[in-house]
Amino acid sequence: MEGAASADEFIPAGLASLGIEASEVDLAVMAAVHGLFWPAIIDLLALDTEGMEPEQDPDLSRAPR
């Protein structure tokens, strides 16, 4: 699985770069989370959002301007 495979490199490297320590249990949980979300994150990044600019200072209590 793409997410599970990349977890072996991505998670230890990311933690090390931030100086965050992790136990074996932490790493196992993170690998599971990564496996669940990473493929969807890749899909999200690949989504064509041309012309869908974020709202400027959105007021979430109202319809978009």
Q: Considering the complex, what minimum distance in angstroms separates the CB of residue 6 from other proteins?
A: 11
Q: Which member of 4, 15, 35, 57 binds other proteins (CB under 8 A)?
A: 15
Residue 39, classified by CB atoms within 10 Å of its CB into exposed (0-12), middle (13-18) or buried (19+), is middle
Query: Taking CB under 8 A as the rule, which mask of x and - marks residues 22-61 in contact with other proteins?
Result: x--xxxxxx-xxx-xx--xx-xxx-x-x--xxxx--xxxx
Cα–Cα distances (Å) from 17 to 3, 14, 23, 51, 63, in that order, read 20, 5, 16, 35, 41
C-beta separation of 11 from 30 below 8 A: yes
Residues contributing to the site for other proteins (CB under 8 A):
10-11, 14-15, 18-22, 25-30, 32-34, 36-37, 40-41, 43-45, 47, 49, 52-55, 58-64
